Amino acid sequence: MTILCVVAHPDDETIGCGGTLAAFAKMGHAVYVGALADGETSRDDATFRDVLDRWRRWELALRRLGARPLYPHEAWPDQRLETIPRLRVTKQIARWLAQVDPHIVLTHSPHDPNLDHRMVWEAAEPALLRCPTKVYRFGVRRMRSTFRPVPVPLPMPDMVTRHLALSEYGAECEGDLNSLEQFEKVKT
Ligand SMILES: [Zn+2]
């Protein structure tokens, strides 16, 4: 099978569902992660070097998980995805769907307090409606009470590999070590 994880920022995949992605990879499935925004430029003091460093850490984390990176055609600025016409983001996600033809897609939830994360779902939904893939939405950090995770038929998360991948992002992600991987089922 082929698994595609679509996220806003390079680290969301590891925090939100890294153990599940690692478990899929260990079972021999092809796992891809596409990230849309740079994850750094919302900080006033962020430099070009910080942006490059974040993408580099992302690649190292994905290598730990056994996943392959899909870069966006244009990397959008952090925490400003709502300023990009939604159709452009939808088209980017549609390109990834056409490129890897996934059986399962994992992505953000509309019940996420982070606006970029919600924008990813808004942009992904029209692209996903047109393809026969199964879709699960995951939580990242603290979710709104409207996020209602359910048991889903996904492999048991490999939390050890997830810890190793999280360590590539440094101290920033230490608080995420014990968060659980939780999913909403959207379409099967
Ligand atoms: Zn994020």
User: How many whole angstroms from 115 Cα to the centroid of ligand 1?
Assistant: 9
DSSP, residue by residue, 68-131: EEE--SSPBPTT-GGGS-HHHHHHHHHHHHHHH--SEEEEE-TT-S-HHHHHHHHHHHHHHHTS
* Residue 2 burial (CB count, 10 A): 15
What are 51-72's pLDDT values in tens digits?
899 999 999 999 999 999 999 9
One-letter amino acid of 105: V
Q: Which of 99, 142, 138, 152 is nearest to 18 (CA)?
A: 138
The residue among 78 and 176 whose pLDDT is bigger is 78
CA 8 to ligand 1 center in whole angstroms? 5
- Going from the Cα of 5 to the center of ligand 1, the distance in angstroms, rounded, reads 13
* 9 contacts 35 by C-beta, under 8 angstroms: yes
Ligand 1 centre and the CA of 150: distance in Å? 22
User: pTM of the predicted model, to two decimals?
Assistant: 0.94
The predicted pLDDT at position 46 comes to 76
Residue 27 Cα, ligand 1 centroid: separation in angstroms? 27
For the chain, how long is the longest CA-to-CA vector? 43
Could you report the per-residue pLDDT of 4-49, keeping only the tens digit for each? 999 999 999 999 999 999 999 999 999 999 999 987 777 778 788 8
For the chain, percent of residues with pLDDT exceeding 90: 73
Predicted pLDDT of residue 130: 81
Q: Is 39 left (phi over 0), alpha (psi -120 to 50) or beta?
A: left
Residues of the chain with pLDDT > 70: what percent?
98
pLDDT, one tens digit per residue, over 118-142 is: 999 999 999 998 888 999 999 998 8
Q: Give yes or no for residue 175 having a pLDDT over 80.
A: no
| CA–CA separation, 48 and 77 (whole Å) | 12
Q: Which of 137-141, 149-153, 183-187 has the lowest mean pLDDT?
A: 183-187
Radius of gyration of the chain (CA): 15
pLDDT at position 188: 59
Site of tokens 């590999």? 161
3's enclosing H/E stretch is: strand 2-7
Q: For residues 60-73, b (16+ Cβ closer than 10 Å) or e, as one string?
A: ebbebbbbebbebe
Q: Is residue 103 over pLDDT 80? A: yes
Q: What is the set of domains in the chain, with CATH numbers?
A: 2-187 (3.40.50.10320)
Q: Given this model, what pLDDT does residue 172 score? A: 75
| pLDDT the model gives residue 63 | 98
